[in-house]
Structure formats: C-alpha cells, structure tokens
Structure 1
Amino acid sequence: MTLCFEKWKRRIGLTITGLSCFLGVHLNAQSQTGDTTLQRATLAGIIDYALTHQPGVRQAEINQEITDLQIKNRLADWYPQVNFNYNYQRNFQLPVNIIGGNQVRFGVFNTSALQFTATQNIFNRDALLASRTKGDVRLVAAKQTENARINLVANVSKNFYDLLATDQQRKITDENIAMLSRSLRDARARFDAGVTDKTDYQRATIALNNAMASKKEIEEALNAKEANLKFLINYPGDKELSLMYDSATLEQEIFLDTLQAPAYTRRVEYQQLQAQLRLQEANVRYNKWSYIPTVSANGAYIRNFLNDDFAKLFNQSFPNSYAGLTVGFPIFQGGKRKNNIVIAERQVEQTRLDLINFSNQASSEYKTAMAQYRASMANYQALKENMELAKEVHRIIELQYREGIKTYLELITAQTDLRASQINYFNAVYGLLSSKIDVQRAEGSIQPK
C-alpha cells in the first residue's frame, strides 16, 4: 500500500512540474509577442516596427507566399498523377440483351472494383510554361513586396521629419513664451516705476497671448501628426510614442551627391516591367506551343469483384490492367490559336512601350526631385544664416532695451523675427531631409531591410 502511494505521489509531482514548465514557457512567449510598443522610437526603430507590423507589407508578403505555392501547384503537373477509386454497385435488375431473339440477362447482382490509375505528362504546355517562367513570376511577387517596403520607408521617414518639425515649433514657442513672460514682467516693472507708459506691457501682454494661442494650435497639429504616424506604422493608438532623435545628427544627414548619375534600372518598377516583358514573351511561345500535340502516358490496374451473393463478393477477384499513350491535337479552332499568338505579341509590344514610358517618367521624377532638393538646400543655407543673424540682433536689442536705448516695440519685433527664423530654419532642415527621401526614391537607392 505504501509503495503504491509513493508511485502515485511521484506521478502527481511530475505532472505538476510539467504543467509549470509549460505555463512558464507559454506566459513568457505571450510577454514576448504581446509587447507592441517601441522602447526606442528613433527613426530606424520606427521603420523596423512599421516593416514588422504594417498590414500593407504583410499583405504583400502573404501574396508572395501565395504566388510561390501557386507555382508549386503548376509544377506538380510534371509529377505522376496517381489516383485510387473504390466502387461498389448493387444491381436490383440485371441488364438484358437480345441474342438470337432470346432475352439474355448479363452480369451479377453485386459488383465491386478497386482502381489504381496513373498519368504522366510528357508534353504539356501549361506545365512547361510554369517551368520556364517560375523565376520571373517569383521575381514580380518579390518586387511587389519590396516596393511596398520602399514606399513605407519613404512615407514613414517623411512623416517622422514632419512630426519633428512641428515638435521643434512647439519647443521654440515654449522658449518664446518664457521670453515674452520675462519681457512682460520687465515692462510691468518699468511701468510701475514710471519709466515707461502702459503701452509697453500691454504690447507684451498681446504678444504673450498670441504665443499662447500659437502654442495650442501647434500642440493640436502635433497630436494629429502623431496619430497619423501611429496609423501609418500600425502602432497602438492608446500607447505613448516618444520620439528619440538628435537634431545635430539629422542635420549632418541632409547632404546628397547631386552629381551622381541616376540608374533607373535600380527602380523596383523597372525591374518588375522587365520581368513582365519576359513573361509576355514566354506567353507568345506558350501560344505557339498550341500547335504541338499534348502527350501523356497513362495506365491503370483494376481489380473487379463479381458475385450474386453479397457475402461471397470478395471471395474471388478478376483483375485487369493496361498502359497507354494519349496524344491530343486540336485540328481546327476557327483561327483561335493564331489570334492568341497575335494578342500575345501585341502585349509584348505594350510592355516594351511601358518600359520606355517608365524611363521617361523616372527621369522626370528624378529631375523634379533633384530640383526641389537643390532649392531646399539653398533655402536651408539662407535660413540658417538668417537664424544666426536674428539671434545676434535680438541679443543686441535686448541689451539696448534694458539700457533704455531701444523701445519695447523694437524688442518685440526682434523676438518675433528670432522665433520666425528659428521655425523657418527647422522647417528647412526637415523639409530638406524629405526632399532627400524623394530623390532617393526617384533614383531607386532606398534599400529597406
């Protein structure tokens, strides 16, 4: 009795240990897969997150998987097709035939058969087309996935830069509010001391109120752009997305080699059209193969069971087997085959024209994007100089105002110019980065992971 109890207790212990291990692994897996937030919301981190979670990219990947399976299905026609059939039939009335004026019944009341059949394609143009074009079909599907990734990387990057520009506006506005609050206190102190009249602190109040209203507008725009970025990368709307970036590092990334000759053959769309052209040319050959007979070998092994008594049906079998060759050739189809060949040749011509049209379109896109980039670069350089000058002007006028040399109106004007120059400068930086993305997309140099 004691021995049985010890065995039972040992089994229970092993069961509990196994369940504990299973639950531990399961919960650990859930904690790993259930984490859908970004710990480091850098541009690279956001792009990686988007490539992993964005439904459009996943749909393209699924389409690529489906295409690969469809190719395997078409190639399966080259393998022997083996089938098995079982049949049982109960005849309630045997069939009758007339022989020499007499009615003669043939057959038995119970029949059954086991059938094994096999077919091997020797020449089949559908399977041959699948064999010849499988590489290009896979390439087109892969390029569709790559194109979805490239577009996502470009759109995420541009939205990221746009969000940073708005965030910089918010920071500059906060600094401006702090500056205006200090100016308001100084103007009020001067008025209370009888140095100036009340118009100075009234102007300071107006400027501060305008800055507060501007801050609210910028914050709402920031929330909208953040929501749009979350939507773009499929990020949970109720989770916080704290961007991490270094303005100095981003500013170093604005430069681009404007003398490099574009290579449109790197564009995914061009490679897709080339693969499509090869598929169209293969389609021409496919239609010409319609004049070649379809050839296949086939065979079967059949085991028949015949007996009037159901209980004795499987006591004796009557096997038969055969092998054969089937050749099929359509003799006349009303000109259908010739018309299909002409249609396929016209489709080849259309695809060649698509290649020419795309080359012209890509050239136009590149030149437009490069012109915008050069203009943005010139604008950036001018606005950077303006910001430095505005800082210096504001510093001098603020000192002169405190010494009573300059009026408060001149100080407000200098502060407004400084804020505008700073906002324009950061807009120019992130606008230039967006222009760089457009150039890289136009020349086909964006390489997603």
Structure 2
Amino acid sequence: MFKYYLRLLCFACGVTSVQAHAQQAATPFTDSATLDQCIDYAMKHNPVLKQSFLDASITESQVQGKLADWYPQIGLTANYQRNFQLQTMANSAGVVRIGRYNQSALQLGLTQNVFNSDVVLASRTADDVRTQAQQQIVLSKIDLQSSLSKAFYNVLLTEYQMKVLDEDINRLTLSLKVARDQYDAGIVDKVDYSRATIALNTSKTQRANAVVLLDAKYARLKELMGYPSKEPLILTSGQINLEQEALVDTLVELAPQKRVEYQQLEITQNLNKANVQYRKMALYPTVSLFANYNVNFLNDELVQLYNQGYPNSFAGLQVGFPIFQGGKRRQNIKQAEFQYEKTGWALENSRNVINTEYENALSIYKSDWNTYQMLKDNLGLAQEVYRVLDAQYKAGIKNYLEVVVAQTDLQKAELNYANAVYQLLIDKIDVLKALGDIQTK
C-alpha cells in the first residue's frame, strides 16, 4: 500500500512539474544562437513536444487508474423511502400489513479483487505501456531535432548566399566604376558599361529575393523552437567547421533495433501477446471478497425515523464463471492471435522499410558528396580565372565581356558550393535518422 501511495505522490509531482514547465514564458536570446542552443530551447518550448509530455502523463494516469482496481473498493450508499400504502401479508392469523411508512438505509460496502483478468492484464502490461509512452516522446524529440537542424542550416545557407551576393555586388560596383571611367575617357564604348549595369542589377535582385526567403525561413525556425515570432533571432555556426560537420561514416552497419519506430512495434507485439493471454484468461472465473455493513431505520413518524437503527453485517466470497457465451470467447482468442501474428509481419516489413530508408539516404549522401567535391574544385578554378581576367582587363589585355562571364561563373561557383555544403549537412541528418543514431537532448 505504501508503494502505491508513493507512486501516486511521484506522479502528482511529475504532473505539477510539467504544468509549471508549460507555464514558463519563452524568453528570447540576447546573443547569437548556435544549433545546440536552438535545440535546447526547442526542447523546453516547442508546443508539439509539450503535448507529447502531457500524453505520457495521461498514459501514466490511465495506468494508475487500472492498477487501482487491485486495492479495496469502498462505497457508501444511503436511501430514504416513503410508503403511502404498506405491503400486506396473509398468514394463519389473517391479513396483516407489514413495514413502516418511513424507512431509510445506510450501506457501507467493501470489495477486494482476488483474481480478475482485466486487472491482471493491466499489471502485466503497465511497464510496456509506460515504455511506449516514453518512446513516443523520444520519437517526437528526434523528429523535432532533425527538422529544426534542417531549418537552422537553411537559414545559415540563405545568409551565406546573401554574403556571396554582397561580395558580388561590391565587385560589380567596382567593375561598373571602371567601365564608366573608361567609357567617359573614350577608351571603350557603352557596351561594357551597360553589361556591368545589367550584371549589377541582376545580383541586387537576387539579394532582394534572398531577403524575402530569409524571413520565411526564420519564421519556420521560430515555429519549431517555440520562439516568440516578434522577437529577433540571430544565428551562428559557432566554432563548428561546417565542412567537417557534414562528414558521416558511410561504413556503419545498419541495426533496425536502434530505431524507435522498430522498438515501438516490439512493444506492440509484447502487448498483443499479453492480450492473447488475457483473452484466454476469460475462461477462468473472477474471484472477489466482499463485506457489507447495513443500518436500517423504520418508523411511521418521519421525525422519529432515525431514533432507532437496526444494523446487520456480512462478508463473503464471490466467484463468477460465464458458462456459455455463444463462442464469443473463442473468437476473441482467435482475433488476439491474428493480431499478434500481424505484428510479427509488421516487424519484418519495418526491417525492410528501414533498410530502404537507409540505403536511399546513404546513396543521396554519396551522390551529393561527389557533387560537393566537384563544386569545391570548380570554386577554386573560378576564383583563379576571375583574378587573372580582372587583372588582364585592367591592364587592357582582355575585353570586359570575359570579365563579366568570369564574375558570373564565380558567383555561381560560390553559391553552388554553399548549396553543396548545406545539402550534405541535411543529408547527414537523414542518414543518422535512418540509422537511429540521432542523440536527443
């Protein structure tokens, strides 16, 4: 009994803690935030994750409610009855009326389950049900962490693209000045000046579009974090080398048992197995103890009804055994066995699905890795080509068209390289998720 009350106390403290935690106000960052800080913030403030914690609390309450049936059930009932016509009874002395015009009764009853299949099932499955609730929390954390990481990297990518475009705008502004000076001096015609203007306007338009996209990406990140939408948020990659961060071991052996989804199916199989045993226990009788204490009050005068009571009490053992239910119990057992077998096939299918997810994520990562290596080489070449052509143009050796082409190639190479790095980071998240290797906070 002490353990039971201790559990109730711990559960009540847990619910209070969750409620207090839910009432904490979301406070904005006063400085730039890293990915880990954003994840930590989301684990405390994300509304969907909070719902998962509350679902686990609801499940715990339901489990405790089922287990409570093992403890004595005590009830008190009371009634009052006014008889307008007394009952009659015939005997050898004649016809007589029995009873009183006013009667009342108090009944204090106690029952104690000795064996009940419903309560036995609750006891056997309590730990599995709790585990399943905790697994759902872990799964919610994994989904949140992976989605938030991708949103974080998307914001950083857009900000990096804006920096690239800013550098490109600076280069094109200088080139436009040179073209303008040469045009004013009569060295070149207006074509170079016009081309520089077109290229500069194009880069400015791209940057303006990036600003618009950045607002939407920040909104998505704040949504996942549970961050105040009106508060500013500044991100930083911290001391992390994003290229090194994107590396993943492609030789890790897949183990489906590490996936939470697979573990959930294993728990479901355990619960279905317990359900088979429960259905078979329906063939057993239910056994319970009972005890009652009754006090009856009888009087023709209402005001004197409770002056005298007539108590009686008793205790006993009750055994209930359903003899025939039209084959219902046999069909229930079959249904439970089929459900258990079905879960076994679901586990096998889950292994195949997980393997497909992993192979798909790994192949995409490897493909994007090859693209990243090629784009990294292209960036180095584009930087060198632009440097040489820009110097030759200023020396009057090359025409301006070649410089514009080199500037465009350099801008594309920088943007493509950035996209490749951040795509690898996102691919890595998918690979780790498929492996079941995402470590939640």
State the TM-score, normalizing by the size of structure 1.
Answer: 0.90
Partners of 2:296 and 2:269 lie apart in 1 by 54
Residue 26 of structure 2 contacts residue 228 of structure 2 at CA under 8 Å; is this kept in 1? no
Partners of 1:445 and 1:437 lie apart in 2 by 9
- Counterpart of 1:152 in structure 2 is 144
Residue 26 of structure 2 contacts residue 226 of structure 2 at CA under 8 Å; is this kept in 1? no
Correspondence for 1:106 among 98, 102, 125:
98
Deviations 1:164-216 (A, max 9, x none): 11111111111111110110001000111121111111110111111111111
- Counterpart of 2:13 in structure 1 is none
Partners of 1:340 and 1:47 lie apart in 2 by 46
Q: Say which SS state the counterpart of residue 234 (structure 2) adopts.
A: coil
Matched, 1:53 2:50: no
- Counterpart of 1:34 in structure 2 is 25
Partners of 2:404 and 2:281 lie apart in 1 by 83
Closer/same/farther in 2, CA of residues 127 and 401 from structure 1, 3 Å limit: same
Deviation at 1:135, TM superposition (A): 0.9
- Counterpart of 1:118 in structure 2 is 110
- Counterpart of 1:265 in structure 2 is 257
* 1:329-344 map, 5 Å: 329-344=321-336
Partners of 2:425 and 2:438 lie apart in 1 by 14
Deviation at 1:105, TM superposition (A): 1.1
* 1:122-133 map, 5 Å: 122-133=114-125
- Counterpart of 2:172 in structure 1 is 180
Residue 38 of structure 1 contacts residue 46 of structure 1 at CA under 8 Å; is this kept in 2? no
- Counterpart of 1:15 in structure 2 is none
- Counterpart of 1:64 in structure 2 is 56
| 2:70 aligned partner, one-letter code | W
Partners of 1:166 and 1:364 lie apart in 2 by 31
- Counterpart of 1:13 in structure 2 is none
* 1:393-412 map, 5 Å: 393-412=385-404
Q: Say which SS state the counterpart of residue 128 (structure 1) adopts.
A: helix
Q: Higher mean Cα deviation, 320-329 or 107-116?
A: 107-116
Residue 26 of structure 2 contacts residue 227 of structure 2 at CA under 8 Å; is this kept in 1? no
| 2:25 aligned partner, one-letter code | G
Deviation at 1:102, TM superposition (A): 3.5
Partners of 1:271 and 1:364 lie apart in 2 by 18
Q: Higher mean Cα deviation, 121-130 or 400-409?
A: 400-409
Deviation at 1:35, TM superposition (A): 4.4
Closer/same/farther in 2, CA of residues 264 and 70 from structure 1, 3 Å limit: same
- Counterpart of 1:8 in structure 2 is none
- Counterpart of 1:169 in structure 2 is 161
| 1:183 aligned partner, one-letter code | S
Deviation at 1:101, TM superposition (A): 8.2
Partners of 2:240 and 2:127 lie apart in 1 by 46
Number of paired residues?
A: 420
Residue 159 of structure 1 contacts residue 229 of structure 1 at CA under 8 Å; is this kept in 2? yes
- Counterpart of 1:213 in structure 2 is 205
RMSD: 1.8
Closer/same/farther in 2, CA of residues 212 and 405 from structure 1, 3 Å limit: same
Q: Say which SS state the counterpart of residue 241 (structure 2) adopts.
A: helix
Matched, 1:378 2:367: no
Deviations 1:352-411 (A, max 9, x none): 000000000000100111111111112112211211221121111111111111111111
Partners of 1:62 and 1:102 lie apart in 2 by 70
Deviations 1:275-303 (A, max 9, x none): 00000000000000011001111110112
Partners of 2:276 and 2:46 lie apart in 1 by 38
* 1:46-445 map, 5 Å: 46-100=38-92, 102-246=94-238, 249-445=241-437
Residue 38 of structure 1 contacts residue 45 of structure 1 at CA under 8 Å; is this kept in 2? no
| 1:431 aligned partner, one-letter code | Q
Residue 26 of structure 2 contacts residue 45 of structure 2 at CA under 8 Å; is this kept in 1? no
Deviation at 1:239, TM superposition (A): 1.7
Partners of 1:429 and 1:248 lie apart in 2 by 13
Q: Which structure 1 residue ranges, 5 or more long, are not aligned?
A: 1-28
Q: Higher mean Cα deviation, 112-121 or 81-90?
A: 81-90
Residue 94 of structure 1 contacts residue 109 of structure 1 at CA under 8 Å; is this kept in 2? yes
Partners of 2:368 and 2:311 lie apart in 1 by 86
- Counterpart of 1:24 in structure 2 is none
State the TM-score, normalizing by the size of structure 2.
Answer: 0.92
- Counterpart of 1:9 in structure 2 is none
- Counterpart of 2:11 in structure 1 is none
